[in-house]
Amino acid sequence: MKIDRLVSIIMILLDKKRIGSQELADMFEVSNRTIYRDLDAINRAGIPVRSISGVGGGFEIMPGYKIDRKVFSTADLSAILMGLSSLSDMIRGDELVNALAKVKSFIPADRAKDITVKANQIYIDLRPWMGNRNIQPYLEIIKTALQESKLLAFAYTNQSGIRTTRTVEPYQLVLKSSHWYLQGYCQKRNDFRLFKLTRIANLQMLKESFTPREYPKPQLDVSDILETLQTQIKIRIHTSVMDRVLDYCSFEHFSPDGDEHYLVDFPFIENDFYYNILFGFGNACECLGPLHIRTEMKRRIHAIASLYENQG
C-alpha cells in the first residue's frame, strides 16, 4: 500500500467531492480491489469515507468533516515531503507546488522541525552531473503535452545511430535507472514506443491535439529476459573501477586478487553494448575468459588502434 497514493486519493476526494472506484482504479492503474483496500485504510485512519449508490454515486468524504492534522504520522509526512520535493526539483509546475503546500498544511507547528529533519535525511537529485542539458526543459514540454493531449514532434536517434523524425502521441513519462523515457504512440511506426529523452532532439509541442487511446504499460522489467541471455565471464579489475563494476553485479561476485585487484564473475551478453561496458573500464579491466570473448576484445582493440596509426 503506497502512502502517496492514499494521500492522492484523499486530495481527490476533497477536491472532487465524489468519485467512482473504477475512475480511481484507472487513474492509479491498480485494481478495484486495491482501491477498496485503500479506502478502507483511509477510513481506519480516521477519515470517514462513505459510499453512495445509484446514478452519480461513488465515494466521498462525509460532508462537514475536517481532516485532523494528526491523522498523518511524522514518518508519513516526511516520506511525502521527500518524494514531492525531489520530483519538484526536476519537474516544475503549479501542481507540485500546490501539492507541497497542501502537505505542509498538515504539519502541526510542534512537529515541523522534527518532520523537516526527517524529510532531509534522504535527498534525491534526479538532475545529471553533466551531459545533455535538454532533459529538464524537455520534461516541461512533455508534461504540458500530456496535460493538454497535444502531439509532439522531434528527431530521434536510435541505438544504431540512425536519425528519423517522429510525430508522437505522448502518454507517459518514465524514469528508469536514472534515465527519462517518453512512452507514446508513434505515427511513423503505428505502434507504441519508448523513447529515451537523451536521444531526442528539436522537441516541439504541436498545436494539433489527439484523442487519447488505451495504452499498454511499458515493458520495464527485463530481468527474466536478461537471465536467459546473460553468461558469466571472468574479468580482473583494479580497485579504482570497483564502484563502477558494482553497478552491474553485486560484491558476492568479487574475490580478492592481491592487494589492488579483484577477480569478478561479470554478467555479459555478446553485443556491442556489453563490449563497450568493458572498454569503459579502460586498462583497469582485463577479460580473462572465455577465450573467444577475450579474442574478440583483442580484435576490437586492434581495430581502435588502427584508427590512430596514420595520425602521426
The whole-number pLDDT of residue 1 equals 44
Which CATH code, of 3.30.720, 4.10.260, 2.60.120, 2.30.30, is assigned to 135-209?
2.30.30
The whole-number pLDDT of residue 263 equals 95
Buried-exposed string 143-176: b where 16+ CB fall within 10 A, e elsewhere: bebbeeebbbebebeeeeeeeeebbbbbbbbbee
Local structure of 118: helix, strand or coil? helix
User: Taking the domain 3-67, which CATH number applies?
Assistant: 1.10.10.10
DSSP 8-state secondary structure symbol assigned to residue 72: S
**What is the domain partition of the chain in residue ranges?**
3-67, 74-119, 135-209, 224-306
Local structure of 262: helix, strand or coil? strand
Angle between helices 74-90 and 112-119 (to 10 degrees): 50
Chunked into runs of 10 residues, the chain (312 residues) has average pLDDT values of 68 73 80 84 78 79 64 66 61 58 64 69 62 75 91 90 93 82 93 91 94 80 72 93 89 91 93 91 94 95 87 59
**Angle, alpha carbons 58-25-176 (nearest 5°):** 155
The whole-number pLDDT of residue 48 equals 81
Does pTM surpass 0.75?
no
CB 155, CB 197: distance < 8 Å: no
Per the structure block, which three cell numbers stand in for 83?
A: 518524494
Largest CA distance in the chain: 84
The whole-number pLDDT of residue 42 equals 79
- C-alpha atoms less than 13 angstroms from C-alpha of 176 in its C-beta half-sphere: 16
Report how far residue 254's alpha carbon sits from residue 276's, in angstroms, rounded to the nearest whole number: 21
CB 62, CB 48: distance < 8 Å: yes
Report how far residue 22's alpha carbon sits from residue 26's, in angstroms, rounded to the nearest whole number: 6
